[in-house]
Amino acid sequence: MWWGVIKMDTKELLRFCIERGFLLEPEVLNILSETEDKESIKFILEKLKSQTQERIITKTFLEQNAEKVSEFFLSLPKENQMGLEKLKIKLGIQIEIYKESLTESKGINLVKNSSGVKVLSESKPIGEKINVASFVKNLKSRFNLLKNILQERPEMENLVSINKISRNSQKSSIIGSISDKRTTKNGNILFEVEDLTGTIKVLISPNKKESYELAEELPLDSVVGFSGSGSSDFFFVNNIFLPEGHLSEKKNAPFEDCVAFVGDIHYGSRFFFEKNFLKFVDYLNGNLPNTPESKKIKYLFLVGDVVTGVGNYPLQEKDLVVVDLEEQFIGLSNLLKKIRKDITIIISPGNHDGVRLMEPQPIFDKKYAWALYDIDNVILTENPCYINIGSGNNFSGFNVLTYHGFSYTYYANSVPSLMKIRAMNNPDSIMKYLLKLRHLAPTHASNQRVPHDEDMLVIKKIPDIFVSGHTHKSAVSYYNNVLIISTSCWEDLTEYQEKFGNEPDHCKVPIFNLKTREVKILDFE
């Protein structure tokens, strides 16, 4: 098909829609009529109509079906995609405009060598096509990785696969993924659990108080262990086991270097606290009075949403002071260049940073973020990523797991205990919850994901430090000797954010001393 650029007036577009049996909301009609590439618009509308059978296309409908619309945009030739960038902003849809087919960038090769920093995560190719088989392989990988962790637990006695459970009642243990969950009329929790050999119904009685309370918290698709008794028809649970791990010790470095953690800068937003961020830069450079400890900072982590992006939420354009993604990255890089050069800056993307929403997210696209690539003391990583800092002199260093935290909203709004405490305002509770399950997004509905042959969101190795952003809420705590850090933000509350009832923290920076393990939270507000 030839994708030309043909101007078409409102009447022509309306006639096209009527001929195909659907109508456009006046606002949508006006927006689409302003677009020059009408052949692409026709293509997207035809795809949308055929797959949804919707008769009236409204702006709300487009927002609700953003993922599907995104797929249609990505099926266009790249030059056509780029020409429609302004359209996505006007429609209030998060659509990934720039993408190199379905192959991963060679991002890991772009990471600069830096003393004391090692990127431990490996970039994995996606493959030419994503289909059902890709997701099956990904799920099998997840199951096997977590099964290997669970079966090391001594409590998992008489472990058998589901197809080995006889028709006669017997005590045993099983490991499986929860594919369905409901509560019976008698108040029992009933799971449908599957492994690679079959499925079984698993029942947890309220009489098993500890197991019942744990079962209430378990999300779909999580891989857990069960011990109890039963037959091939029903398995009655006595105990539930999670794949959680713990560190045997808290490390102390032989030198007194420090590391700072920052997230959600949102450069380009008219609500960006630029003066406050520049004050933080002055602190790092030792220009503020009575801050001798600032000279000890050797590492700075920026964990996503470093720019505010475009088209991330409805009517975002009114909240932008820098409306171009490339210009946002240029402005951010100018700020980072002011930081003294002996601080290594490790930057990973978030959902606002112009990379694909599907996780794991690749390194920033050089087309837009080239200015960051030109800074010698910056290391760009994927999201999530394992990074080792401070190794040397017979010291293994600290393993840091960075994850922006896009999945956190789902668990905050679906897990009873997290809902009770309004967990988006207590993000470390979500992070502890996911450490227990050893997965950053165990339920498929909690994020969009790339089905690599190996599930890259499994927490295979327990980190020394687990750091996230996204919630705009500062928190520091420990779980099983893992230091958990949630970063604040550098953007004031927008109208869109206010709708969700979050209570952000602004301009707070946790500083961790690698030798003393002291954590200070500095306030630049």
Inter-residue contact 441 to 457 (CB < 8 Å): yes
Low-confidence winner among 123-132, 244-253, 387-396 (lowest mean pLDDT)? 123-132
pLDDT at 208 exceeding the cut of 80: yes
| CA–CA dist 521, 4 (Å, integer) | 55
Average per-residue pLDDT for the chain: 86
Same domain, 299 and 428: yes
State mean pLDDT over 31-36.
Answer: 74
Of all residues in the chain, what percent carry a pLDDT higher than 70?
86
Same domain, 300 and 404: yes
In the prediction, which pLDDT does 81 show? 56
pLDDT in tens, 442-469: 998 899 888 888 999 999 999 999 999 9
Same domain, 388 and 326: yes
Same domain, 163 and 36: no
Walk across the sheet containing 385-389 and list its strands. 117-119, 385-389, 398-403, 465-468, 482-486, 475-479
State mean pLDDT over 267-276.
Answer: 95
User: What band does 70 get if pLDDT is binned at 50, 70 and 90?
Assistant: low
* Buried residues in 150-177 as b, exposed as e (16+ CB within 10 A): beebeebeebeebeebeeeeeebbbbbb
In the prediction, which pLDDT does 40 show? 76
Task: Tokens 């999580």: give the residue.
Answer: 222
State mean pLDDT over 306-325.
Answer: 89
Low-confidence winner among 26-30, 162-166, 200-204, 235-239 (lowest mean pLDDT)? 26-30
In the prediction, which pLDDT does 75 show? 59
The neighbour count for residue 280, using CB atoms within 10 Å, is 22
Task: Tokens 């190794």: give the residue.
Answer: 391
Inter-residue contact 364 to 398 (CB < 8 Å): no
Residue 524: name the closest of 303, 272, 278 by CA: 278
Same domain, 179 and 114: no
pLDDT at 270 exceeding the cut of 80: yes
In the prediction, which pLDDT does 108 show? 37
Same domain, 265 and 392: yes
In the prediction, which pLDDT does 98 show? 33
State mean pLDDT over 188-199.
Answer: 94
In the prediction, which pLDDT does 32 show? 78
State mean pLDDT over 197-219.
Answer: 95
Same domain, 378 and 483: yes
| CA–CA dist 251, 34 (Å, integer) | 60
Amino acid at 115: S
Of all residues in the chain, what percent carry a pLDDT higher than 90?
60
- The CATH number of whichever domain residue 406 belongs to comes to 3.60.21.50
* pLDDT, greater one: 495 or 142: 142
In the prediction, which pLDDT does 100 show? 35
In the prediction, which pLDDT does 351 show? 93
Residue 203 lies in a domain: yes
Same domain, 468 and 436: yes
In the prediction, which pLDDT does 168 show? 74
| CA–CA dist 204, 198 (Å, integer) | 20
Residue 347 lies in a domain: yes
pLDDT at 337 exceeding the cut of 90: yes
| CA–CA dist 194, 203 (Å, integer) | 14
In the prediction, which pLDDT does 68 show? 63
Amino acid at 457: L
Residue 72 lies in a domain: yes
Q: Which of 241, 265, 298 is the last residue of a domain?
A: 241
In the prediction, which pLDDT does 394 show? 85
pLDDT at 338 exceeding the cut of 80: yes
Same domain, 384 and 466: yes
Same domain, 65 and 27: yes
Strands 23-24 and 223-230, how do they pair? Answer: unpaired
In the prediction, which pLDDT does 46 show? 75
Residue 3 lies in a domain: no
Residue 211 lies in a domain: yes
* pLDDT, greater one: 90 or 442: 442
In the prediction, which pLDDT does 106 show? 36
Residue 202 lies in a domain: yes
- Residue 38's domain comprises 10-91
State mean pLDDT over 359-377.
Answer: 93
State mean pLDDT over 157-183.
Answer: 89
In the prediction, which pLDDT does 499 show? 77
State mean pLDDT over 378-395.
Answer: 92
Residue 488: name the closest of 351, 305, 258 by CA: 305
Q: Is 291 helix (H, G, I), strand (E, B) or coil?
A: coil
pLDDT in tens, 276-306: 999 999 999 999 998 888 999 999 999 999 9
| CA–CA dist 236, 255 (Å, integer) | 53
Task: Tokens 């006695």: give the residue.
Answer: 157
pLDDT at 420 exceeding the cut of 90: yes
pLDDT at 91 exceeding the cut of 90: no
Same domain, 296 and 236: no
In the prediction, which pLDDT does 461 show? 93
The structural domain count of the chain equals 3
For residue 516, which phi and psi values (nearest 5 degrees)?
-85, -15
Same domain, 224 and 365: no
Residue 349 lies in a domain: yes
| CA–CA dist 491, 488 (Å, integer) | 9
- The CATH number of whichever domain residue 225 belongs to comes to 2.40.50.1010
Q: Which of 217, 241, 265 is the last residue of a domain?
A: 241
| CA–CA dist 369, 363 (Å, integer) | 10
Residue 341 has which token pair?
């050069």
Inter-residue contact 70 to 76 (CB < 8 Å): no
pLDDT at 96 exceeding the cut of 80: no
pLDDT at 494 exceeding the cut of 80: yes
Q: Is 402 helix (H, G, I), strand (E, B) or coil?
A: strand
Residue 102 lies in a domain: no
Give the DSSP letter string of 135-154: HHHHHHHHHHHHHHHHTTST
Strands 234-241 and 223-230, how do they pair? Answer: antiparallel
Q: Which of 241, 262, 284 is the last residue of a domain?
A: 241
The neighbour count for residue 103, using CB atoms within 10 Å, is 11
